[in-house]
Structure 1
């Protein structure tokens, strides 16, 4: 049985223990100091930690992991809006942060995948009771917008009302453009808006599916060049720009030279999707998975999930 080290001084730790108890051996400690002592004495497969801890915080603990136990993954949990401390997430290179109270299915799914590194690709491992599936293969930039149009019409044909359709159109365009251009080494062509045709045997796959309560989208390339650092940098840049815009609205400052499109698609995706995952198998495959609940009142997860298979 795999072992999880839970670092939490609050009453919420009992809820986490309850979720994990049937699948894993859980060691619970209250502080980063006790966590480090445990790591030096006990084999651990995953660390789950509150962001705010007595004494040293979770970032100190994560830094210790990065120096001494690089093979042990970590998940942070917090009641705070992650955007308020994303600068620390970015500088520390933290890939998984969940908002409390955690979505139980999302939490268990993430824990299982991070520990096992199994079933990390494919919508069927993120969506239960799938009713319909549609796949689209893209081999050139000229196919991107027609593919997006097909995706949107397919989702609507399944009976889903798309909230903020124009925003979803933008998100899908940007995500697929990045997969076609950046992942295949055509960054200069993207910047110059030059159409590209992928080489023979190269393609980007887009897959849609749905069940009774949600629809989901996967965008897959087979280069595996996207990295956790690039994802965090894009989100960090988008958050910084949003803060600049809000400040400029108050002060009247001209910030036009400080605003770019960097991270725009990822930032919009974070705000619109119910759940999202970045899954990376280094130099082999990258998949971005988006889940959209049909219930307009469904709570957004406000989380960060980057699953890496670097072995």
Structure 2
């Protein structure tokens, strides 16, 4: 049985421990100091830690893991808005941060995938009781907008009302454009808005599915050039720009030369998707998965989930 080290000094740890013990052996400690002592004494498959801990914080613990136990993955949990400390997430390269209270199914699903590195690709491993599935293969940039149009009309034909449809259109366009252009080495062509045809055997797959309560989208390329660092950099840049805009509203400062489109799609995705995942198999495959609940009052994810297949 896999072992999880749970580092949490709050009462919430009892709820998490009870949930985790249904699937794993759990060692629970209250501080980063005790966590480091445990790591030096026994084998651990995953560390789950509160961001704020007595004495040292989870960032100190993560730094210790990166120096001495690079093979042990970590998930951070927090009550805070992760944007308020994203500079630290970005600097230390932390890929998984969950807002508490966690969605139990989402939490266990993520834990299982990070530990096992199995069943990490494919909507069927993120959506239960799938009713319908539709797939589109893209080999040319000229297919991008028609593909997005088909995706949106298909989702509506399944009976879902697409909230913020124009924004979803923008998100899907940017995600697919990145998969077609950046992933295949056509960054210059994208900047110059030059249409491209992918080489023979190269393509991007877009898959849609739904169940009774949500619809989901997967965008997959088979180059695997997206990295955790690039994702974090894009989100960090988007957060910085949002802060600049808010400040400019108050001060009247002209910030037009400081604002770019970098990270715009990822940032909007974070705000609108119920759940989202970045799945990376370096130099082989990248998949972005978006889940949208049909319930307009459903809680949006403020978490960060990057699953890397490092085997």
Deviations 1:84-110 (A, max 9, x none): 000000000000000000000100000
Which whole-Å deviations, capped at 9, do the CAs of 1:142-172 have from their partners, x for residues lacking one? 0000000000000000000000000000000
User: How far apart, CA to CA, are the structure 2 residues paired with 1:86 and 1:22?
Assistant: 32
Please provide the CA RMSD for this pair. 0.3
Could you say what secondary structure the match of 2:287 adopts?
Answer: strand
The separation in 2 between residues aligned to 1:301 and 1:196, in whole angstroms, is 34
In the TM superposition, what is the alpha-carbon distance from 1:301 to its structure 2 partner? 2.0
Q: Which runs of 4+ in 1 moved over 4 A?
A: none
Aligned partners of 1:19 and 1:302: how far apart in 2? 21
Match of 2:127 in 1: 127
Q: Report the Cα offset of residue 200 of structure 1.
A: 0.3
Could you tell me whether the CA contact under 8 Å between 2:270 and 2:301 is conserved in 1?
Answer: no
Corresponding residue number in structure 2 for 1:111: 111
Alignment correspondent of 1:62: 62
For residue 40 of structure 1, give the secondary structure of its aligned residue in structure 2.
helix
Alpha-carbon offset, residue 18 of structure 1: 1.1
CA distance in 2, matches of 1:100, 1:164: 26
Structure 2 CA distance, aligned partners of 1:300 and 1:264? 18
What do residues 153-210 of structure 1 show as CA deviations (whole Å, max 9, x unaligned)?
0000000000000000000000000000000000110011110000000000000000
Does structure 1 conserve the Cα–Cα contact (< 8 Å) formed by 2:271 and 2:301? no
Give SS of 2:253's match.
coil
5+ residue gaps, structure 2, are none
Q: Does residue 288 of structure 2 align to residue 288 of structure 1?
A: yes
1:163-174 aligned at under 5 Å gives the runs 163-174=163-174
Contact 1:130 1:210 in 2 (8 A): yes
Paired with 2:310 and 2:51, the residues of 1 have a C-alpha distance of 25
Structure 2: distance between partners of 1:20 and 1:301:
21
Q: Is the 8 A contact 1:226 1:286 kept in 2?
A: yes
Give distance in 2, aligned partners of 1:23 and 1:109: 11
Distance 1:265 1:22 in 2: 37
Distance (whole Å) between structure 2 residues aligned to residue 60 and residue 193 of structure 1: 44
Structure 1 residue 300: deviation in Å?
1.1
Distance in structure 2 (CA, Å) of the matches to 1:30 and 1:17? 13
User: For residues 93 and 126 of structure 2, what CA distance do their matches in structure 1 show?
Assistant: 24
C-alpha displacement at 1:22, in angstroms?
1.5
Segments of 5+ residues of structure 1 without an aligned counterpart are none
**Cα contact 1:103–1:301 (8 A) shared by 2:** no
Summarize deviations over 1:239-266 as a string: whole Å, max 9, x none. Answer: 0000000000000000000000000000
Match of 2:40 in 1: 40
**May I ask how many residue pairs the two structures share in their alignment?**
311
Per-residue CA distance 1:291-310 (angstroms, 9 max, x = gap): 00000000112100000002
CA distance in 2, matches of 1:23, 1:292: 27
**TM-score, length basis structure 1:** 1.00
Normalised by the length of structure 2, the TM-score is 1.00
Counterpart-to-counterpart distance in 1, 2:189 and 2:67: 39
